[in-house]
Every structure is written in C-alpha cells, then in structure tokens.
C-alpha cells in the first residue's frame, strides 16, 4: 500500500529550508499529507547540512527519533551531508535511502515505492557534475508574508573552512526571465517580502552574463506592494550600484547581512576570504553614511586555526567599533577535505566556546544599541499571522523585531508604525498609517 503521510526535518540554512519546502510540495502533489516530524509518518525525509557541528551524530539522533515514532517508516536522508558522506549515512540503522544534492528533487522518480523491505537506495551525483539548477522557495510563517526564494546555488570561492562548494557544486544561477516569472507568481500569491536566497547570492548571474544588480532592476519593475531583501551578500560583491539602488528604490529594504568571519586581515588571508579588514570597515562606514538607519548583520567565526588571543581581540575590538546591528557567531569546527583541517595552531575547544560567548554578548549589546537608536522613529513593518499572548510580531525593513497588540487588519500588510519602546528584547510599536512604501529614512 502506498504511504500517505510524510514528515520533514531540515538542518542548516534558509536555502535548505526553501528546498525542503519544494520537496514537500512534490509530496503533496503525490497525495501525501505533511505531518509534524514528531508525529507518526510513513516517510521521514531528513534534509541535512554539512555546516552543522557533529552532522553525523545529529543525523543518527534524528533517524532514531523518527523510527521510535514509527519503526516501519521509510527514512530518506538527503542534503549536503548526504552528498559528502553517503557511505557513513548508509551505516546508520534504519536509513532506507541516501540522496545527494540533485537527487533530493527527484525522489519520486528514484524511489517509486517507499518499501522498507526493498534494498537500500543510494544515489549521489558526483559534485563536479552538479550543474543543474533546482528551483525552490519556502514561506517562513503559515501565513503568506515572507518567501525565501532561491535564485542561485553553489559557490566558486575556496574559503579554507568551507565544505559547501563540495556539497553543492559550482556557482550557478536561475535564468533572469524565470526568476522574474516566479517572482510575479509569488507577489500574486500575496507575499509581501521576498528574500533572495542562495549559497553566494552576490555571485548571481556570473556564468550567464548577468549580475545581481541587473536582476534587481528587472524585479523592481514588477508592480505590487512588496519589498525585497537579500538574504546575505559577500562584502566584495556588494557594489556601489546595489547600494545606490537600495537608496533609491522604496522596494529595497535598508538591511544587509554581510559575512565578515574575522576582523584580522591575517586570519582573513588564512581563511582565503577576498577582502581585508580595512575594506570591510570602509564598506560598513559607507553603508551607514549612505543609507538611513541601515541594519547590518555580520557572520563571524571564532577559533579558526592560528587565531591567537591577540587575533581574536583584534576581531572583537574591530566589531565593537563598527556601526553594525547584530552578529551571527559560529564556532570553527574541523571539516574533512578542507584546507583548514591541516593548518597549524588548533584552538582548544573550551577557548573557542569562550570566544563565541564573548561575541554573543557583544552581539546583544549591539542589537540593543541599534534598537534604542530606533525609538521614536517611524518604520515600515510587515506583521505576521500568529497571535502570541495578544501580540503580533513583525520585522521592520531594517530588520528590527517588533511587536504590537494583535490587530488582524495589519497582518501581511506593509504598514507604517512608530517604535515607542523595548520590551523583552523586542521593540514595541504603535500603528501610524497604511499608506507608505517609503521604506528608507522614515522619520
Ligand atoms: S563564499 Fe566561502 S564560505 Fe561562502 S559558500 Fe563560498 S566557499 Fe563557503
């Protein structure tokens, strides 16, 4: 008998979430009901990540959890970790299929029947042959507010800590005309914020004679009440053209997420990043000078091999002085087949944790400074559907988390609100009016 309930578990980045969503749609089209991963399902799909620390242990635990709920369920493991370590995954008891980065989109042609008694299925396209572009988007909340829209995949960079290029292959982009067509569909479905997502979004268009800037020009011609956010962009790819466009288009948000990784040029060189600390600083100062109330998120890695206390403090002080609004802090962990794993100067794990903790505290300080700076300003907010103890939550265009008394009239609309305080790390707002798409520089 054909199985009918499927459950998904996703690890890692927004791109993986977008892709799980697409796989979910395929299952629904085949008549499946999507249930919670904690629930009783006939098929469990685990979309893995290679960036996750202890990917192997985590994967084992999730498989076990699924089989505890239903020992007869068919278990599929896919995603970046499956692409890189298929053999190890097949050794996990209870796994029925291991599918690589491309194969995850073709589950139904690869596995016509989800039968536990069938021999286990392993299909992984070698990474150097990962050339296909598989479309994906996902919505964040149940309501149609924000959509993560995949426009690019893979990466041609060679950062020495990173396994993503091995797991996802070379950089490739969805054709601009297809992106625009799908973008229009998303807007017509009612999404008010589209988050352009990929592995290296700033690299969009490189191999198809295009660029992210040109794509944005096309997208911004689409009529409608929406705003565009770039999920993350490498500092060397955030061009003056994109900054000007952000300033001049009311549909571009005044927020960027820009990986730094280290504030020490020595460490950046070891990591094979494509900029110096000074370049990064100049970019952040330029953004602050040019774009009113710009929100800036920063990725940083602590404990990379060779990072001395002095190097770490250089990073700490570098970030402390920069006008940024929050950090995403990652603790370095050794990954097979990377250059970094063979580097000298391994940092003790306890020290990596201490550094991580220091930066997390700094991040909270930065966030609160930024939130305080926004008090009494008018901002454009997109409120979400959920009623949480009488409040609704939303994001401003410059990525401040805000809340307000629940008012269903404001759900999934871009409305102007006034920030009047901070409560439990979230800004509180009052409704001002419904008529603004002037996302930048609201006063
Ligand atoms: S830019 Fe560097 S860190 Fe980012 S995916 Fe490419 S190789 Fe990895």
Q: Give the tens place of pLDDT for each residue, 383-394.
A: 998 888 899 999
Q: What is the mean pLDDT of residues 78-103?
A: 89
Reply yes or no on whether the pLDDT at 44 is more than 90. Answer: yes
At 27 the three-state DSSP class reads: helix
pLDDT digits (tens, 9 = 90+) for 258-291: 999 999 999 999 999 999 999 999 999 999 999 9
**What residues does 147 pair with on adjacent strands?**
139, 194
Written as six digits, the tokens of 216 are 């944005």
Q: What is the pLDDT, as a whole number, of residue 18?
A: 86
Residue 385: partners with Cβ closer than 8 Å, 6 or more residues away: 141, 142, 143, 145, 392, 411, 412
pLDDT digit string, tens, across residues 318-334: 999 999 999 999 999 99
| 159 Cα to the center of ligand 1, angstroms | 6
User: How far separated are the first and last CA of the chain, in Å rounded?
Assistant: 62
Ligand 1 centre from 423 Cα, in Å?
A: 36
Tell me which residue of 88, 85, 171, 174 sits closest to 124, measured CA to CA: 85
Give distance in angstroms: CA of 96 to centre of ligand 1. 31
Closest ligand 1 atom to Cα of 165: 7
Percent of the chain exceeding pLDDT 70 equals 94
- Judged against a pLDDT cut of 90, whether residue 55 lies above it is answered with no
Q: Which two tokens stand for residue 191?
A: 């999404």
256 CB-near residues (< 8 Å, 6+ apart): 230, 233, 238, 287, 294, 295, 296, 297
Residue nearest to atom 4 of ligand 1 (CA): 200
Name the residue of 127, 157, 235 to mutate for ligand 1: max ligand atoms within 8 A of Cβ. Answer: 157
Ligand 1 center from residue 340 Cα (angstroms): 13
Give the position, in ligand 1's atom list, of the atom nearest the Cα of 163: 8
- pLDDT over threshold 50, residue 406: yes
Q: How far apart are CA 75 and CA 63, in angstroms?
A: 7
Mutate to test the pocket of ligand 1, among 130, 160, 199 (most ligand atoms within 8 A of CB): 199
Residue-wise pLDDT tens digits, 298-318: 999 999 999 999 999 999 999
**10 SS3 class:** strand
Please give the distance, rounded to the nearest whole angstrom, from the Cα atom of residue 202 to the centre of ligand 1: 11
Rounded to 5°, the CA angle 330-322-290 comes to 120
Q: Is the pLDDT of residue 142 over 60?
A: no
pLDDT reported for residue 143? 54
> Higher confidence at residue 91 or residue 294?
294
Q: What is the pLDDT of residue 224?
A: 93
pLDDT of 120 above 90: no
Tell how strand 97-99 and strand 74-79 pair up: parallel
Q: What's the 385 CA to ligand 1 centre distance in angstroms?
A: 34
Query: What does the alpha-carbon distance between residue 60 and residue 204 come to, in Å, rounded to a whole number?
Result: 35
Give, using CA atoms, the residue closest to atom 8 of ligand 1: 162
Confidence class for position 438, pLDDT limits 50, 70, 90: low
Predicted confidence at residue 261, as pLDDT, reads 98
In the structure encoding, which two tokens stand for residue 238, read together?
A: 């955030």
- Whose alpha carbon is nearest atom 2 of ligand 1? 159
Domains, the chain: 5-125 (3.40.50.12160), 131-252 (3.30.750.210), 254-371 (3.30.750.200), 378-433 (2.40.50)
pLDDT at residue 52 in the model: 62
Contact (CB, 8 A) for 200 and 233 = no
In this prediction, residue 12 carries a pLDDT of: 81
Q: CB-side exposure of 394: number of CA atoms within 13 Å? A: 36
Strand blocks (E) in 97-222: 97-99, 121-123, 137-139, 146-150, 152-153, 172-173, 193-197
Most confident range (mean pLDDT) of 21-25, 130-134, 292-296 is: 292-296
Ligand 1: residues with CB < 6 A are: 155, 157, 159, 162, 164-165, 199-200, 234
**Residue 131 backbone dihedrals phi, psi, to 5 degrees:** -120, -15
* pLDDT of the residue at 53: 65
Q: What DSSP element (H or E) covers 422?
A: strand 414-423
User: Hunting for tokens 């970094």 — which residue is that?
Assistant: 340
Closest atom of ligand 1 to CA, residue 273: 2
> What does the pLDDT average to over 223-238?
96
pLDDT greater than 70 at residue 182:
yes
Nearest to 396 by CA among 436, 360, 365, 423: 436
Span of 17-21, 125-129, 398-402 with lowest mean pLDDT: 125-129
Q: Which atom of ligand 1 is nearest to the CA of 272?
A: 2
> Using CA positions, which residue lies closest to atom 1 of ligand 1?
157
Distance 259 CA to ligand 1 centre (A): 10
pLDDT score at 259: 98
Which of 3-12, 188-197, 359-368, 369-378 is least confident? 3-12
Looking at the predicted structure, is the pLDDT value of residue 136 above 50?
yes
CA of 164 to the centre of ligand 1 (A): 7
* pLDDT recorded at residue 101: 86
Are 221 and 191 contacting, i.e. CB atoms less than 8 angstroms apart? Answer: no
Examine the pLDDT at 226 and tell me if it is beyond 60. Answer: yes
**What is the C-alpha to C-alpha distance for residues 126 and 167, in angstroms, rounded to an integer?**
9
Position 135 pLDDT exceeds 70: no
Which of the residue ranges 54-68, 140-154, 371-385 would you say has the lowest mean pLDDT? 140-154
Nearest to 161 by CA among 328, 355, 58, 300: 300
């Amino acid at each position: 008998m054909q199985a009918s309930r499927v459950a998904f578990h996703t690890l890692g980045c927004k791109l993986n979430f977008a892709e799980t969503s697409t796989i979910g749609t395929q299952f629904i089209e085949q008549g499946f009901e999507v249930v919670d991963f904690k629930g009783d399902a006939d098929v469990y799909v685990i979309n893995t990540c290679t960036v996750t620390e202890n990917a192997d242990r985590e994967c084992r635990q999730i498989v076990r959890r699924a089989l505890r709920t239903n020992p007869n369920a068919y278990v599929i493991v896919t995603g970046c970790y499956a692409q890189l370590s298929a053999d190890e995954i097949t050794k996990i008891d209870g796994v029925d299929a291991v599918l690589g980065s491309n194969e995850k989109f073709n589950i139904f042609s690869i596995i016509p029947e989800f039968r536990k008694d069938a021999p286990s299925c392993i299909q992984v396209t070698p990474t150097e042959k990962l050339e296909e572009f598989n479309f994906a988007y996902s919505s964040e909340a149940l309501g149609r507010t924000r959509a993560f829209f995949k426009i690019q995949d893979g990466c041609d960079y060679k950062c020495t800590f990173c396994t993503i290029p091995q797991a996802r292959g070379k950089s490739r982009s969805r054709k601009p005309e297809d992106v625009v067509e799908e973008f229009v569909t998303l807007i017509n479905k009612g999404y008010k914020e589209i988050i352009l997502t990929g592995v290296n979004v700033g690299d969009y268009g490189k191999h198809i004679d295009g660029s992210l800037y040109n794509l944005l020009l096309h997208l911004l011609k689409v009529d409608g009440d929406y705003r565009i956010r770039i999920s993350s962009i490498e500092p060397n790819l955030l061009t003056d053209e994109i900054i000007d466009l952000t300033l001049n288009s009311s549909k571009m948000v005044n927020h960027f997420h820009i990986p730094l990784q280290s504030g020490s040029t020595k460490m950046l060189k070891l990591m094979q990043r494509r900029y110096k600390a000074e370049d990064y600083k100049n970019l952040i100062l330029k953004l602050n000078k040019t774009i009113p109330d710009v929100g800036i998120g920063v990725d940083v890695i602590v404990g990379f091999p060779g990072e001395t206390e002095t190097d770490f403090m250089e990073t700490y002080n570098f970030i402390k002085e920069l006008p940024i609004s929050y950090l995403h802090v990652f603790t370095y962990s050794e990954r097979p087949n990377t250059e970094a794993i063979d580097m000298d100067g391994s940092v003790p794990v306890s020290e990596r944790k201490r550094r991580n903790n220091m930066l997390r505290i700094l991040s909270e300080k930065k966030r609160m400074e930024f939130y305080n700076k926004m008090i009494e300003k008018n901002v454009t907010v997109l409120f979400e559907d959920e009623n949480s103890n009488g409040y609704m939550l939303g994001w401003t265009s410059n990525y401040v988390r805000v809340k307000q008394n629940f008012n269903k009239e404001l759900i999934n609309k871009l409305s102007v609100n006034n920030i009047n305080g901070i409560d439990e790390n979230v800004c509180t707002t009052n409704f001002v009016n419904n008529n603004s798409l002037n996302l930048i520089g609201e006063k």
